[in-house]
Amino acid sequence: MDIFLQQIINGLVLGSIYALIALGYTMVYGVLGIINFAHGEVLMIGAMVSLSLLRLMLDLTSGLPTWLILLIVLPFTMAVCAGVSYAIERIAYRPLRNAPRLAPLISAIGMSILLQTIAMMIWSRNPMTYPQLLPSSPIDVWGSGATITGKEIVIIVVALMVMSGLLFLVEKTKLGRAMRATAENTQIAALMGVNPNRVISITFMLGGALAGLAGVMIASNYGNVHFYMGFIPGLKAFTAAVLGGIGNLQGAMLGGLLLGLIESLGAGYIGELTGGVFGSNYQDIFAFLVLILVLVFRPTGLLGEKVSDRA
Amino acid sequence: MLKVIAFNRLSQTAYLCLGLLALILLPWLVGFTGGNYWVRVLDFALLYIVLALGLNVVVGFAGLLDLGYIAFYALGAYSFALLASPHLPQQFESVAAVFPEGMHFSPWMVAVFSIILAALFGIILGLPTLQLRGDYLAIVTLGFGEIIRIFMNNLDRPLNLTNGPKGITAIDPIQFLGISFAKPLDLGFVQIPGLYLVFYLFLLLAIAVAIICTHLQNSRIGRAWVAIREDEIAAKAMGINTRNMKLLAFAIGASFAGVAGVLFSAFQGFVSPESFTLWESIVILAMVVLGGIGHIPGVILGAVVLAVFPEVLRAIVQPLQNVIFGHVLIDAEVIRQLIYGLALILIMLYRPGGIWQKSGTK
């Protein structure tokens, strides 16, 4: 039974990271009705920037507790990522808002390649190790044999806190109301005194900041960073957003957690279920299978509204 | 007046003949001045033309973004690799028993097979997604491309089907009318090297694909695609079966990639998952977009430019940096990637029709 519990824990860690990234997709989709293809790269930039900042801090200050260093580095990283995300919107999306549908998709792919290449030039072509600043010694969970590390607890807790903060922001504040109004109908929101461009920029920045946080989490969870690390998590988070119902915040959170669990349980049991024909190296396939199944059977996602005809 | 038309027609034919002659002489010219390496580059450029024209049917004609196009190419390449190499008979005794002299299917047979296979996969993939928004198709095709690559990478155990990341080697070379393209063809007065033969074959294929595409574009189907691309709801109202038309575009594009894949693996003699990454899909997309989305001559230009350009970059930029800085400061690969990224953005922002766009479109 401990394998089951262990996979649940792994799934929750993975899932809360996916949820953070999925929120970025879903928020942007909400206000603009487009899928931000370059979102995964923001995550990668977050991991890279935080690596540089961490190295700098570790060099400059000795003796500072590691959690404090992380706490100082995080806001900077998230700010940089918000800036990158803002730039993506300004360069690749805003000038093409009235262009044919294909145009922003292609410019976003260009942006994604550009960001990867820039990261490759600034940092490295090769994977780099990421300093371990949080306790990573396994703690036994209720004597069951399944383990969780301090790092993993922090990831889950921080993700949950940030997500509830975001929900509060969107549901209860004036800015959130403007965002919801823009999502509902940009033109009417503009008539009501909302500046849609400002709201769209802020939405991108919020999504970017969350992706930056997720990037730091992924980097500390796996212990290394590389310039193409944003691609697969980005793809999976997109799946999570679709699973939950794209455009819906709670949906993205639910979808992220579910996808994390599906993946981790799937990877844990696929070997047993298929008699060893497929191993855990097929882990990446689950997300795509989920995506295709959702699109076939419930294209609106678990909590979503109708999406098919917003062309 | 009549004379002018006759003259025009004559000069058109003359130009066509001159162009063909130039193309026939091209490998010799390139071979003498630059060596076989550059003829190889030309061969690949022709293959890329086929791929770009195929993707253009999907992206340019029907307006569907396919980011996993390379997966269909991979299907074709692996089909031939498995059916015309010693890999399967070596791995499975039962196969060896059926084919005591080894598996040597003809590339043309496999090409027909992979047209069907690729089109089938295209339809399977398109069915659930094509009735949804275009963005979904982009992501699902992207995911499909990754799935195919993951399978190629991992299907070396428990049964060794694809030989994993190491790939499949010793694939049969192309054979045409009993002529092997692996060795020079002796015509008595002149010997045509295999690389040149491959050039002519790929040229024929590229011309055939270009002609098919032109006819498709000017047909009822092509007009239906344009209608769907411009306004799907209006197209539906005009009685176009949008789902079937999109599926058709998807399947046709996929089958071109399938054929190109077969020829690729026969030409290389070796396939591995590394040739079929997402990056390759993006390169082909860049060819279509850069050249002139939906415009056949533009796409051909885009394919040639982007296929030859990295090689030129490699040949010029690295030595140039060596001369100026004493060492290679920025890798040609990095420069290429940078330019691709910038090109995709800038073209979309300032010249959405590509460098050689259709006259009459803005």
Reported ipTM: the value is 0.84
Residues B293, B53: contact at Cβ < 8 Å? Answer: no
Residue type, A191: L
Q: Residues of A numbered 99-118 whose beta carbons fall under 8 angstroms of chain B's beta carbons: which are they?
A: 99-107, 109-118
* Per-residue pLDDT at A218: 92
* DSSP letter string, chain A: -HHHHHHHHHHHHHHHHHHHHHHHHHHHHHHHS---TTHHHHHHHHHHHHHHHHHHHHHH-SSS-HHHHHHHHHHHHHHHHHHHHHHHIIIIIGGGTTS-THHHHHHHHHHHHHHHHHHHHHS-SS-EE----S--SEEESTTSS-EEEHHHHHHHHHHHHHHHHHHHHHHHSHHHHHHHHHHH-HHHHHHTT--HHHHHHHHHHHHHHHHHHHHHHHHHHHSEE-TTTTHHHHHHHHHHHHHH-TT-HHHHHHHHHHHHHHHHHHHHHHHHHTTTSS-GGGHHHHHHHHHHHHHHH-TT-SS----TT--
* Per-residue pLDDT at B4: 57
CB contact under 8 A, A242 and B278: no
* Per-residue pLDDT at A308: 42
Q: Identify all chain B residues contacting A96, using CB atoms and an 8 Å cutoff.
A: 348-349
Q: What integer is the mean pLDDT of A132-139?
A: 78
CB contact under 8 A, B134 and A105: yes
Residue A136, chain B, CB below 8 Å: the answer is: no
CB contact under 8 A, A110 and B128: no
The residue among B343 and B77 whose pLDDT is bigger is B77
Q: What integer is the mean pLDDT of B111-132?
A: 87
Residues A259, A211: contact at Cβ < 8 Å? Answer: no
CB contact under 8 A, A99 and B352: yes
CB contact under 8 A, A121 and B345: no
Q: How far is B4 from chain A (nearest CA, A)?
A: 41
Residues B88, B137: contact at Cβ < 8 Å? Answer: no
Q: Residues of B numbered 251-290 whose beta carbons fall under 8 angstroms of chain A's beta carbons: which are they?
A: 278, 282, 285, 289
Residue A87, chain B, CB below 8 Å: the answer is: no
* Per-residue pLDDT at B70: 94
Nearest to A107 among B67, B338, B348 (CB): B348
Q: How far is A284 from chain B (nearest CA, A)?
A: 8
* Per-residue pLDDT at B6: 61
pLDDT classification of B362: cutoffs 50, 70, 90: very low
Q: What is the pLDDT of residues B146-171, one digit of tens each?
A: 888 888 888 887 778 888 888 888 88
Please calculate the CA angle B302-B305-B311 and round it to the nearest 5 degrees: 145
Residue A120, chain B, CB below 8 Å: the answer is: yes
Strands B175-176, A224-225: pairing is unpaired
Residue A199, chain B, CB below 8 Å: the answer is: no
Selected for mutation to probe chain A from B147, B348, B349, B357 (highest A CB count within 10 Å) is B348
Q: Identify all chain B residues contacting A123, using CB atoms and an 8 Å cutoff.
A: none
* Per-residue pLDDT at B8: 67
Taking every pair of C-alpha atoms in chain B, what is the biggest distance, in angstroms? 75
The CB density around residue B13, as the number of other CB atoms within 10 Å, is: 10
Read off the tokens for B261: 């894949």
Which residues fall within 8 angstroms of residue B21, CB to CB, at 6 or more apart?
none
Q: What is the pLDDT of residues B168-182, one digit of tens each?
A: 888 888 877 777 777
Residues A22, A251: contact at Cβ < 8 Å? Answer: no
pLDDT classification of B22: cutoffs 50, 70, 90: confident
Q: Residue B12 to residues B15, B38, B207, B212, B217: CA-CA distances in angstroms? A: 5, 30, 17, 21, 22
- Cα–Cα distance measured from residue B45 to residue B309, given in angstroms and rounded to the nearest whole number: 10
Is B264 exposed, middle or buried (CB count within 10 Å of its CB: 0-12, 13-18, 19+)? buried
Q: Identify all chain B residues contacting A99, using CB atoms and an 8 Å cutoff.
A: 348, 352
* Per-residue pLDDT at A307: 46
Q: Residues of B numbered 109-128 whose beta carbons fall under 8 angstroms of chain A's beta carbons: which are they?
A: 128
DSSP state of A302: S
B92-96, B250-254, B327-331 — most confident range: B250-254
Q: Show the beta-strand stretches assigned E in chain B.
A: 175-176, 179-180, 185-186, 191-192
CB contact under 8 A, A120 and B334: yes
Q: What integer is the mean pLDDT of B278-305?
A: 89
* Per-residue pLDDT at B16: 85
Q: What integer is the mean pLDDT of B308-312?
A: 83
Write down the residue that tokens 């383990």 correspond to.
Answer: A147
Residues A99, A27: contact at Cβ < 8 Å? Answer: no
Residues B160, B149: contact at Cβ < 8 Å? Answer: no
- The fraction of chain B above a pLDDT of 70, given in percent, is 95
- Containing B209, the helix (H) or strand (E) segment is helix B194-217
B361 pLDDT above the threshold of 60: no
Selected for mutation to probe chain A from B293, B345, B346 (highest A CB count within 10 Å) is B345
B125-129, B183-187, B270-274 — most confident range: B270-274
- Cα–Cα distance measured from residue B51 to residue B259, given in angstroms and rounded to the nearest whole number: 9
- Cα–Cα distance measured from residue A129 to residue A48, given in angstroms and rounded to the nearest whole number: 11
CB contact under 8 A, A235 and B349: no
Write down the residue that tokens 């300032």 correspond to.
Answer: B350
What is chain B's mean pLDDT, rounded?
85
* Per-residue pLDDT at A211: 94
H-assigned helices in chain B: 2-34, 36-56, 70-83, 87-91, 93-98, 107-129, 134-154, 194-217, 220-230, 232-237, 242-268, 278-292, 296-325, 332-350
Phi, psi for residue A79 in degrees, rounded to 5: -65, -45
Q: Residues of A numbered 201-240 whose beta carbons fall under 8 angstroms of chain B's beta carbons: which are they?
A: 231-232, 235, 238-239
Q: How far is A134 from chain B (nearest CA, A)?
A: 33
Residue B313, chain A, CB below 8 Å: the answer is: no
Selected for mutation to probe chain A from B344, B350, B351 (highest A CB count within 10 Å) is B344
The number of CA neighbours under 13 Å toward the Cβ of B334 is 17
A233 pLDDT above the threshold of 70: yes
Q: What is the pLDDT of residues B41-91, one digit of tens each?
A: 999 999 999 999 999 999 999 888 888 899 999 999 999 998 888 888 888
Q: What is the pLDDT of residues B255-265, one digit of tens each?
A: 999 999 999 99
Residue B158, chain A, CB below 8 Å: the answer is: yes
The number of CA neighbours under 13 Å toward the Cβ of A155 is 31
What is chain A's mean pLDDT, rounded?
86
CB contact under 8 A, A110 and B341: yes
pLDDT classification of A311: cutoffs 50, 70, 90: very low
A5 pLDDT above the threshold of 90: no
Nearest to B340 among A113, A121, A242 (CB): A113
* Per-residue pLDDT at B316: 82
- Please name which of B207, B228, B360, B231 lies closest in space to residue B296, comparing C-alpha atoms: B207
Q: What is the pLDDT of residues A66-102, one digit of tens each?
A: 788 888 899 999 999 999 999 999 999 999 888 877 7
User: Can you give the length of chain A in residues?
Assistant: 311
Is A29 exposed, middle or buried (CB count within 10 Å of its CB: 0-12, 13-18, 19+)? buried
* Per-residue pLDDT at B190: 76
pLDDT classification of B355: cutoffs 50, 70, 90: confident
Helix (H), strand (E) counts: chain A: 11, 4
Q: Residues of B numbered 48-87 whose beta carbons fall under 8 angstroms of chain A's beta carbons: which are they?
A: 59, 63, 65, 67
* Per-residue pLDDT at A45: 95
Sign of CA dihedral A34, A37, A41, A43: positive
* Per-residue pLDDT at B3: 59
